[in-house]
Amino acid sequence: MIPISLTLSGFLSYREEVTLDFRPFELACIAGANGAGKSSLLDGITWALFGRARKADESLINIHPDTQAARVVFTFYYEGNLYRVIRSNPRGKTSTLEFQIATSGESALPEPENAVWKTLSERAIRETQQRIEETLRLDYETFVNAAFFLQDKADQFTQQTPARRKAILSNILGLGIWEEYRQRTVQRRKGVETDIAGLDGRLQEIAAELDEEPNRRERLANLQHELAELIQRREAQQAVLENIRKVQHTLAEQEKMVATLARQLESARSQLNEGVVRLADREKERGTYAQLLATAEELRARHDAWLADRKTLAAWEETAARFREQEQRRHQPLTQIESERVRLETDIAVLAPQEQNIVDLRARLPVVEKKIEFAQAERDAAESQLALRSELEEKLQTELKRHAEAKAENPRLRTEMMELNERIERLEGTEGPTCPLCGQDLSPEEREKLVAALRAQGTQKGDRFRENLRLLEESEGVVADLKGEISGLGAANQAFQRQTAILAELSQEQKSHQAQLQEWDEKQEPRLHKMRAALESGEYASRARDQLRKIDAELKEIGYDAAEHERIRQQVAAGESSEAEIRQLERAEAALKPLDREISELEAQIERQRNELEGQQQDHDRAAAALAAAQ
């Protein structure tokens, strides 16, 4: 395998696309700093060919966040052909592998830039990888043990087991083809041995068949003699069979004739039955017509009465039409009256709940006023507590200030008293006319005066110091008491705010109730009373009511009686059957004579059919008897 070019993109140290051309040199040494990408070039070759390198999966992709895929293109010359392998590993997606061969037929190395590539890739990556290894007759383990030594693993081949070293050397030297030849030879030998065994068995069968020839010839002669006897017996039976067939044909013809006569007999019986049934129907129909003709006078009288009722009904229909036309005029005033009534009821229905609400408001208003008085009292009490709390907080601040001043003054007084004691001790412990404090001459009297003055200052400061201690001790109790009292009044502010909010809400509710009551008393209540009175007395829509009374008077003059009209209508409806009865009577009168003729014809026809049926029955009986005798 002769490398031609290697292109890396997004692979390990190579973020941008880099192409290494192997053609300008035959031997090279790769040198550079750590991390420069020396090993990445070799990893690119092994990863392109075998999908394996020092790292795996997405760790091969350059760590820069913009890099989305690792891609290596390796072009090499092998056994007179130019090949190209393209392997890509996108981030978060499935890897791809392409195996291609240049289609140029030139013997020299073709230029990859001008080559026309033909794919050798299979459907799956694993199958394509197997195709590459079969073409190279080399896998990754053999490659890294023979042609390419991994870093720190130069002795990897020597560390392999003997069997593994033998397999690697066999793969390198191409000895695997001889193993394939051996397996093919073994398979072919097994096939030849199987064919030979089959031929031997066949030969044994043929020999056994040949040994049976005399017996089979004797059996053949016996069978031929039996065949001749059987042929003679068959010819005799054939003559008997022909005779039987003739008799059978004759019987079949007789059976067909008997069956035909039976069908004709059955058809004649059926026609006779139909004629009898039809005659009975016609006689029944004639009886119905005769019964109908017997009531002819009654039917005609009923029909005449019905015609008279129809005339009366027509007159009532004309009167009713005028009445309905006049009655249509009532719809408009009735609609106006009904609309006014509905309007009044609707307005009353709207105001009725308000009336109930007003009753509730009148009952609720005193309760709200009592709540206002209670909230006012609670707020005044909370306001008094707030004033007391303010006074206590002022006292607390004053006491805390005194406590802080006394606490800050005592360290200074202690220091000054210590200084005074030190000066007194120096004055009392020093003899001589010189003052140990200022270095001037000092008489004993002046020394005593100075010591007395210093002692007086010390006593004054000590008294002040002790007074501060007493004050501090007393102040702590006072502060604790004040804080306790203030803490007890802590809820006063919240109570004051709460009662103020409640008071504002109740005042707003009181004003709202008063406004609603005033609105109701002045406007809505008088309107509600007026509408109820109008509805109860019927004093609404007066113009429509006057119009309705006038129309009712005109209707009364028409004289329409709806009950009588309905009675005549029902009577006409009940008598409509007389029309159909008259039509039936007319049809009966017209059909009676033709029906009598048809009955006479049917009686004659039935008599003829009975005579013919007797003759057909005799023919059938004779044919059936002849058939039974022949059978």
Whether 248 contacts 572, CB under 8 Å: no
pLDDT value at residue 450: 77
Bridge partners of 71? 9, 88
The least confident of 182-186, 264-268, 455-459, 548-552 is 548-552
- Name the burial class of residue 47, with classes exposed (0-12), middle (13-18) and buried (19+) by CB atoms within 10 angstroms of its CB: buried
Whether 63 contacts 40, CB under 8 Å: no
Mention every residue, 6+ apart, whose C-beta is less than 8 A from residue 143: 46, 49, 50
Query: What's the rounded mean pLDDT across residues 252-266?
Result: 84
Cα–Cα distance between 68 and 58 in angstroms, integer? Answer: 10
pLDDT value at residue 482: 66
Cα–Cα distance between 265 and 621 in angstroms, integer? Answer: 11
Confidence of residue 568 (pLDDT cuts 50, 70, 90): low
Query: What's the rounded mean pLDDT across residues 161-173?
Result: 64
pLDDT value at residue 485: 67
The least confident of 403-412, 448-457, 576-585 is 576-585
Mention every residue, 6+ apart, whose C-beta is less than 8 A from residue 70: 9, 10, 11, 12, 60, 61, 62, 88, 89
Confidence of residue 528 (pLDDT cuts 50, 70, 90): confident
pLDDT value at residue 128: 92
pLDDT value at residue 585: 63
Q: At what angle do helices 562-574 and 296-328 cross, to 10 degrees?
A: 150
Give the count of alpha carbons within 13 A of 501, CB side only. Answer: 5
Confidence of residue 127 (pLDDT cuts 50, 70, 90): very high
Whether 30 contacts 41, CB under 8 Å: yes
Confidence check: pLDDT of 524 > 70: yes
pLDDT value at residue 6: 93
SS3 call for 100: strand
The least confident of 139-148, 184-193, 273-282, 313-322 is 313-322
Query: What's the rounded mean pLDDT across residues 307-327?
Result: 67
Confidence check: pLDDT of 266 > 80: yes
Confidence of residue 178 (pLDDT cuts 50, 70, 90): confident
Q: What is the mean pLDDT of the chain?
A: 78
pLDDT value at residue 606: 83
Share of the chain above pLDDT 90, in %: 7
Query: What's the rounded mean pLDDT across residues 548-552?
Result: 67
Confidence check: pLDDT of 297 > 90: no
pLDDT value at residue 366: 84
Confidence of residue 611 (pLDDT cuts 50, 70, 90): confident
Give the count of alpha carbons within 13 A of 61, CB side only. Answer: 16
Of 151-160, 433-442, 609-618, give the range with the top mean pLDDT. Answer: 609-618
Compare 440 and 213 and report the one with higher pLDDT: 213
Considering Cα of 390, then 391, then 392, then 394, what sign does the dihedral take?
positive
pLDDT tens per residue, range 53-106: 877 677 788 888 888 899 999 999 988 889 999 999 888 888 899 999 998 655
pLDDT value at residue 453: 84
Confidence check: pLDDT of 154 > 60: no
pLDDT value at residue 26: 86
Confidence check: pLDDT of 224 > 60: yes
The least confident of 104-118, 130-144, 210-224 is 104-118
Three-class secondary structure assignment of 238-296: HHHHHHHHHHHHHHHHHHHHHHHHHHHHHHHHHHHHHHHHHHHHHHHHHHHHHHHHHCH
The tokens of 78 are what? 């092998």
Cα–Cα distance between 49 and 84 in angstroms, integer? Answer: 10
Q: What is the pTM of this model?
A: 0.31
The tokens of 18 are what? 């880099």
Of 235-244, 433-442, 532-541, give the range with the top mean pLDDT. Answer: 235-244
pLDDT tens per residue, range 374-418: 878 877 776 777 677 677 677 778 777 877 877 787 788 888 888
Confidence check: pLDDT of 157 > 70: no
Confidence of residue 432 (pLDDT cuts 50, 70, 90): low
pLDDT value at residue 99: 93
Q: Which of 161, 96, 150, 156 is nearest to 122 (CA)?
A: 96
Compare 302 and 346 and report the one with higher pLDDT: 346
Confidence check: pLDDT of 373 > 70: yes
Kindly report each contact of residues 495-503 with a partner whose C-beta sits within 8 Å and lies 24 or more positions away, as own/partner.
495/378, 495/382, 495/385, 496/379, 496/382, 496/383, 496/385, 496/386, 499/375, 499/378, 499/379, 499/382, 500/379, 502/371, 502/375, 503/372, 503/375, 503/376, 503/379
> Which amino acid type is present at position 55?
K
